[in-house]
Amino acid sequence: MEIYLDNAATTALDPEVIEAILPFLTTHYANPSSSHRAGRRAKEAVDQARRTVAHLLGAAPEEIYFTAGATEGINLALSGAIQAYDLSHVITSRIEHKAVLQTLKRHEKEGDIETSFVKLDERGNVDLYHLENLLRANPRTLIALMHGNNEIGNLTDIHAIGVLARRYNAVFFTDTTQTMGKAHFDLREADIDFLVGSAHKFHGPKGVGFVYINQKHRLKPLIYGGGQERGQRGGTENVVGIVGLAKALEVAYRNLEASRSKVSKLKQYLVSKLAISGIEGICYNGESKSAENSVANVLSASFPCLSTGSLVARLDQVGIQVSGGSACQGGGASHVIQALACEADKENVRFSFSKFNTFEELDLVVDAITRIYESDPVVSTRAGWKRIASWA
């Protein structure tokens, strides 16, 4: 049995994506910078992919730049903006992806910027009043706040943040890695300067992503070379990946409502099944349990510590793939969990779903978790744990 519930980490290729990229793996393999017919064909594929992504997001094609993934896009947007506009102050949060936090940490260490951390409530939501106070005190600031959190799923009101950014003449970057292909964007109407996406998060290939750079900006490139991506990112274009990214995003938005409805139901189904599993002390982190305030496919739960090892590892042994972190054996919770008002000495497990998962799989997952806790002599005794008859 193999059950994959780690779709916030990466997703399976959609069959339509495989079909779309096959010709570029076999026959249309020319370099898009070449002037011959085969090269022109490859270049047109890249240009068409750019038009597709722009159309889906309500952007102009010249605002879409292809990268090797979200991490590169984050570095390009943040470092590029800091250097191009001599920005000396950045507002971010303590639960951003490490690609954001480490990039800012480097600039702070080099003396380029000072970083302020916006307050979060106990569930990890941004305090917009504190954000406005920070903006009022620090004009001409770069805001770096994610749309959907990769660990706890919290959704941030990027529309409200964009309005504040314009009011105080700030530059606004938002990490949309976890929400791209899962939420609607209309960048013609949004007050967003930069955002990023990564194909492998929405059933596209790994190693390819994009950064949206509003046309009023021109950033310093991170990678110099042959002038590709209109001088913004040197290096031969990953035609296979770019074609796959555009097709994956097209499929995601074509099926957006159906996919979002399904994964939301999967999440609520798992919550309901765990509630009657007989395992005491399960709690949910951030807004991940919410149907309205979190990314639809992410559920972050904290479980009582086992005496027989990590729950994530025990599930892996029976073919169930999830992710997480534990303070149980001294490993320490992630920086995101540590920033929240979560109970200590619990193991955090992130379940993340895709359109390919089934309710039957979740029945098997809950049964496996229940059996693991039933077999743990310390937990079952300490919690007064008793297996419910329906699982016997």
Where residue 208 falls (left for φ over 0; alpha for ψ -120 to 50; beta otherwise) is: beta
- The set of catalytic residues is 328
Rounded to 10 deg, the angle between the 37-57 and 239-254 helix axes is: 30
What is the residue type of 176?
A: T
Rounded Cα distance, 149 and 139, in Å: 27
The tokens of 78 are what?
């943040």
Q: Give the three-state DSSP class for 213.
A: strand
- Cβ-in-10-Å burial (0-12, 13-18, 19+) of 9 comes to middle
Q: Give the three-state DSSP class for 154.
A: strand
Rounded Cα distance, 119 and 117, in Å: 6
Rounded Cα distance, 386 and 204, in Å: 43
Rounded Cα distance, 249 and 50, in Å: 11
Determine contact, residues 76/219, Cβ cutoff 8 Å. yes
Q: Where are the beta strands (DSSP E) in the chain?
A: 3-4, 64-67, 89-92, 114-117, 142-144, 171-175, 194-198, 209-213, 283-284, 298-304, 320-321, 323-326, 346-352
| Backbone phi, psi, residue 174, to 5° | -130, 135
The tokens of 205 are what?
């290939």
Rounded Cα distance, 293 and 106, in Å: 32
Rounded Cα distance, 84 and 107, in Å: 13
* Whole-number Cα distances in Å, 144 to 121, 127, 162: 18, 14, 11
